Structure 1
Amino acid sequence: MQQSIPRLSTRLLIGSGFLAAVLLIGTIGFAILEGWSLLESFFTTLLIVSTLGFSDLRPVDTYGRALTIVLILAGVGTLYYIAVTLAQSAIENQFGWGRRRQMDQQIARMRDHVIVCGYGRVGRETCRSLARHGAPFLVIDSDPARLATIQADGYLALNGDASDDATLIRAGIARARALLTAVQSDAANVYITLSARALNPSLLIIARAATTEAEHKLRIAGATKVISPYVLGGRSMASMALQPAVMDFLDLLMHSDDADTWLEELVVGPDSALQGMRVDETNLRERAGMTILAVWRADGRMLVNPPPDTILKHGDTLIVLGSRAAADRMGD
């Protein structure tokens, strides 16, 4: 709807300009051809263009009749153009309001979703990965021209400034599980992070940074994790050169749609049967065909390939390897 406003203004400006030109030509034309005063010529032109009051017209000669025909055709055409433009705008606004209301209702039903800020190259690939994992998410972008692209890709789109509190509240930031800010400007990412952290202190915020300075500022602003596409790209290229099989294996687990195995997180909750068990007592491999690769403690420590006697505690997150079906069952 916001995208149609400049287009409407341009079309109305064109129509108004053409109408003014028709009135000017008619006024000057009658003043020259018929010798009338400018006021009388303008009044006559106005009657002709509006197609009202033909009975009030003064008699004119052949040239005056020709000018009258031209004014009728041009005037009716111009008024029709303006009327169609206004009607189209009213219809677009009505449908746009309906779409916005429907979208707001969809967002209001979302829980534990991800908010993606920015739909550039990084944001678009982020959305593809989220969609592959079946995670609920929506996209915020300030460029109205990108809305059609986002919607064509099948994603829920919200047009607005992601650093604006009203936009984030509309996106359901209080109910979201994470916010990913991937706009191209580091300054914009900092502002978005500040706004998001103020609105939801416990939110997981992952921010994109192009420079080392921006990474430091983003952490101060409240980002939980800061990602540099250039650093990640460089590390991936080096790892691919040195450990190609390992990288292919990880890529298969994390990004393939056809892989039978899956890396998943299992959180040990307060009512979990795993709480208080030793790793070798969980029997996850026998029960669900899953292997515990690491235990992420609540205090941030990561126990890779944990010993069999490791006690699982409330708040631990298990990094497990297994089938997608098994991961889904254990997650439930």
Structure 2
Amino acid sequence: MSDVLENLRDLGAREYDKTGFPRLLRAGGLLIGIFVVGTLGYWSAAPPEYTLLDCAYMTTITLTTVGYGEVIPVEGNSSLEAFTIGLIIAGMGIMLYFVSSLTAFIIEGELRDLIRMRRMDREIDKLENHLIICGIGKTGVHVLREVLQSNQPCVVIERSRGRIDEELEELGEEFLYIVGDATHDNVLQHAGIERATGLIASLGNDRDNLFVTITARSLNEKVRIVSRGEHPEAEQKFKMAGATSVIYTNVLGGLRMAAEAIRPEVTTFLDLMMQDHEHYRRVEELPVPNNSPLIGLTIRDTRIRQHTDALVIAVYREQDGEYIFNPGPDYEITTGTKLIVLTLVDDIETLEALIRGEL
């Protein structure tokens, strides 16, 4: 089974970098190759009094067509004449290929793209406790925008460089990304899967999302994996593969349409709350560590309302998996607690500092 999975992971080409750098490397390799062939060819065919440096010089002036004069006499030597003709024809083609590749690399902005990709790689290597978003198609693009608006560190993995460029232009802001196939181990490792706190698989079909789930779970046993699903009957397969939860966009869309028809004011209120860009609010979960000064305090005594306008709408107790909805001001916070709050995104850092005892 492991051999089959490994073979499947190796299907398809890795697309880390869409710049012309690989083409430039190929052109440079061909140029070095024709230079070595020319030098060794002259050295083997020329009279013994000519050194290897003479042969290299002869190759250089032949390839560059500078016409400084022949160091090694060619006229009258049929083998050298034939070799020189072949070297000129092959060399001119390779030189043109190298010059065009170098020009495209510099003039068309590919050098700038390469520098940007290298800088981005360094930033990705520094990330910890981040999200990995696999695919920014019709569903993934909304995931990305929500994550960016929530100020969460993230990395996007997308096969299409054109799709990334479209979203960069649409958003008007930079985000970290990798052009590649999220089903490959090396691409997920490049995105820092070992250090990530969550992965969102939003590729175009269940097969790809299932394979991303399998691959990610094999690389990180603790990461939270949220996968997009098309067919609810496949949920058990996703769970067996390691998915923490599966979201069926068609089901959610249907429920939203029904809610819009039955409870229009409620849905409008939620939309306004979530999409007010001047006062951007979110329902956020805030873990309370065991050494937090909030342990043993009531919600009233935490001073949450003094520092923010956050509302504690629920408490999750990890020890028994129970949710306490709408806890009163006298509810006492215990170890293994997560606070579920409705808060401004800008207040999240203040709340985290309060939980750590820094306020």
Higher RCO, 1 or 2 (CA under 8 Å, sep at least 6)?
2
* Other structure's SS at 1:205 match: strand
Structure 1, residues 40-73: CA drift from partner, whole Å, max 9, x if none?
xxxxxxx9xx8989xx99xxxxxxxxxxxxxxxx
TM-score, normalised via structure 2 length: 0.66
Q: Which residue of 2 aligns with 1:173?
A: 193
Structure 1, residues 261-305: CA drift from partner, whole Å, max 9, x if none?
543322211122222234455453356443321111214322212
Q: Which residue of 1 aligns with 2:162?
A: 145
* Other structure's SS at 1:174 match: coil
Check if 1:136 corresponds to 2:156. Answer: no
Measured in 2, the distance between the counterparts of 1:147 and 1:248 equals: 31
Q: 1:255 aligns with which of 265, 275, 279?
A: 275
Q: Which residue of 2 aligns with 1:303?
A: 324
Q: Which structure shows the higher helix fraction?
A: 1
CA contact (8 A) 1:115 1:138 kept: yes
Measured in 2, the distance between the counterparts of 1:229 and 1:129 equals: 16
CA contact (8 A) 1:150 1:156 kept: no
CA contact (8 A) 1:294 1:319 kept: yes
Q: CA offset at residue 231 of structure 1?
A: 0.9
Q: CA offset at residue 110 of structure 1?
A: 1.5
TM-score, normalised via structure 1 length: 0.71
1:7-26 equivalent positions in 2, closer than 5 A: none
Check if 1:204 corresponds to 2:221. Answer: no
Q: Which residue of 2 aligns with 1:72?
A: none
Unaligned runs of 5+ in 1: 13-46, 58-76
* Other structure's SS at 1:276 match: coil
CA contact (8 A) 1:284 1:290 kept: yes
Measured in 2, the distance between the counterparts of 1:206 and 1:243 equals: 28
Measured in 1, the distance between the counterparts of 2:239 and 2:251 equals: 17
Q: Pick closer, same or farther for the CA change 1:114–1:87 going to 2, 3 Å.
A: same
Measured in 2, the distance between the counterparts of 1:286 and 1:90 equals: 57
Q: Which residue of 1 aligns with 2:246?
A: 226
The letter of the residue matching 1:252 is: L
Q: Pick closer, same or farther for the CA change 1:94–1:185 going to 2, 3 Å.
A: same
Measured in 1, the distance between the counterparts of 2:341 and 2:347 equals: 10
Measured in 1, the distance between the counterparts of 2:228 and 2:243 equals: 10
Q: Pick closer, same or farther for the CA change 1:252–1:263 going to 2, 3 Å.
A: farther
Check if 1:160 corresponds to 2:175. Answer: no
Q: CA offset at residue 309 of structure 1?
A: 5.1
CA contact (8 A) 1:278 1:309 kept: yes
* Number of equivalences: 281
Q: CA offset at residue 142 of structure 1?
A: 2.0
Check if 1:330 corresponds to 2:351. Answer: yes
Structure 1, residues 111-163: CA drift from partner, whole Å, max 9, x if none?
22111001101111111111111111111012343343344443222011111
Question: Percent of aligned positions with the same letter in both sequences?
Answer: 32
* Other structure's SS at 2:194 match: helix
Unaligned runs of 5+ in 2: 1-15, 28-61, 76-91, 354-359
Q: Pick closer, same or farther for the CA change 1:95–1:286 going to 2, 3 Å.
A: closer
1:227-306 equivalent positions in 2, closer than 5 A: 227-259=247-279, 261-282=281-302, 284-286=304-306, 288-298=308-318, 299-306=320-327
CA contact (8 A) 2:134 2:201 kept: yes
User: Which protein is bigger by CA-based radius of gyration?
Assistant: 1
Q: Which residue of 1 aligns with 2:37?
A: none
The letter of the residue matching 1:201 is: E
* Other structure's SS at 1:173 match: coil
CA contact (8 A) 2:229 2:247 kept: yes
